[in-house]
Amino acid sequence: MTDDDFLAISRRGFLSVSAASASAATMLRPGVAAAQEEDTSALDRQMRQVTLRINGQSRTLNVDTRTTVLDVLREQLGLAGTKKGCGMGQCGACTIHVDGRRELSCLSLAVAAEGQEITTIEGLAGGGELHPMQQAFIDNDAFQCGYCTRGQIMSAIACVQEGHAADDAQIREYMSGNLCRCAAYPNIVAAINQAKTQMGRG
Amino acid sequence: MRPFTYERPTSLRDAVALAQSSGAAHVTAPVQYKGGGTNLIDLMKLDVMRPTRLIDITRLEGERLHTVERSEQGVRIGALVPMARLADMADVRRDFPVLTDALWLAASAQLRNMARLGGNVLQRTRCPYFRDTTYCECNKRDPGSGCAAKDGFNRLHAVFGTSDQCIATYAGDWGQALIALDAYVEILSPEGSRSVLFADLHRLPGDTPWIETTLAPGELITGFVVPGGPWPRSKYLKIRDRESYAFANASAAVALDLEGGVARDVRIALGGLATKPWRATKAEAVLRGQLVTEDLAIAAAEAEFADAVAYEHNAFKIPLGKATIVRALMELTEMDA
Per residue, the 3-state secondary structure of chain B, as one string, reads: CCCCEEECCCCHHHHHHHCCCCCCCHHHCCEEEECCCCCHHHHHHCCCCCCCEEEECCCCCCHHHHCEEEECCEEEEECCCEHHHHHCCHHHHHHCHHHHHHHHCCCCHHHHHHCEHHHHCCCCCCCHHHHCCCCCCECCCCCCCCECCCCCCCCCCCCECCECCECCCCCCCHHHHHHHCCCEEEEEECCEEEEEEHHHCECCCCCCCCCCECCCCCCEEEEEEEECCCCCCEEEEEECCCCCCCCCCEEEEEEEEEECCEEEEEEEEEECCECCCEECHHHHHHHCCCECCHHHHHHHHHHHHCCCCCCCCCCCHHHHHHHHHHHHHHHHHCCCC
Residue ranges of domains in chain B? 5-58, 234-333
Residue A164 touches chain B, beta carbons under 8 Å: yes
Interface predicted TM-score (ipTM): 0.96
**Partner residue opposite A107 with nearest CB, options B4, B41, B244:** B41
Show residues of chain A in contact with B14, CB under 8 Å: 19, 23, 26-27
**What's the gap in Å between the CA of A187 and the closest CA on chain B?**
19
Q: Which residue of A has its CA nearest to B7?
A: A19
Residue A45 touches chain B, beta carbons under 8 Å: yes
Peptide bond into A30 cis (omega under 30): no
CB contact under 8 Å between B17 and A175, yes or no, is no
Residue A41 confidence (pLDDT): 60
**What's the gap in Å between the CA of A52 and the closest CA on chain B?**
16
Of residues B286, B248, B243, the one with CA closest to residue B266: B286
> Residue B167: what residue type?
I
Size of interface A-B (CB pairs under 8 A): 145
Sheet architecture: strand order including B5-7: B5-7, B53-56, B31-34
Question: Among the CATH numbers 3.30.43.10, 1.10.10.10, 2.40.10.10, 1.10.760.10, which is that of B5-58?
Answer: 3.30.43.10
Question: Among the CATH numbers 3.40.50.970, 3.30.390.50, 3.40.50.300, 3.40.50.2300, which is that of B234-333?
Answer: 3.30.390.50
pLDDT in tens, chain B (337 residues): 999 999 999 999 999 999 998 778 999 999 999 999 999 999 999 999 999 999 999 999 999 999 999 999 999 999 999 999 999 999 999 999 999 999 999 999 999 999 999 999 999 999 999 999 999 999 999 999 999 999 999 999 999 999 999 999 999 999 999 999 999 999 999 899 999 999 999 999 999 999 999 999 999 999 999 999 999 999 999 999 999 999 999 999 999 999 999 999 999 999 999 999 999 999 999 999 999 999 999 999 999 999 999 999 999 999 999 999 999 999 999 998 7
Q: What is the pTM of this model?
A: 0.92
Show residues of chain A in contact with B113, CB under 8 Å: 98, 101-103
The rounded distance, in Å, linking the Cα atoms of B111 and A92 is 9
Residue ranges of domains in chain A? 47-123, 132-198
Of residues B181, B196, B188, B223, the one with CA closest to residue B81: B223
Report pLDDT digits (tens) over A155-178: 999 999 999 999 999 999 999 999
CB contact under 8 Å between A177 and B38, yes or no, is no
For A47-123, CATH gives 3.10.20.30
CB contact under 8 Å between A158 and B1, yes or no, is no
Show residues of chain B in contact with A104, CB under 8 Å: 38, 110-111, 114
| Mean pLDDT across A110-116 | 98
Residue A91 confidence (pLDDT) above 90: yes
Q: Taking a contact as any Cβ pair under 8 Å apart, which residues of chain A between 5 and 34 contact chain B?
A: 16, 19, 22-23, 26-27, 30-31, 34
Given CATH 3.30.470.20, say whether it is the number of domain A132-198: no
Of residues B291, B190, B257, B14, the one with CA closest to residue A20: B14
Show residues of chain B in contact with A9, CB under 8 Å: none
Mutation for B interface: A102, A148, A180, most B CBs within 10 A:
A102
Q: Which residue of B has its CA nearest to A28?
A: B17
**Partner residue opposite B38 with nearest CB, options A38, A89, A98:** A89
CB contact under 8 Å between A88 and B21, yes or no, is no
The rounded distance, in Å, linking the Cα atoms of B322 and B300 is 9
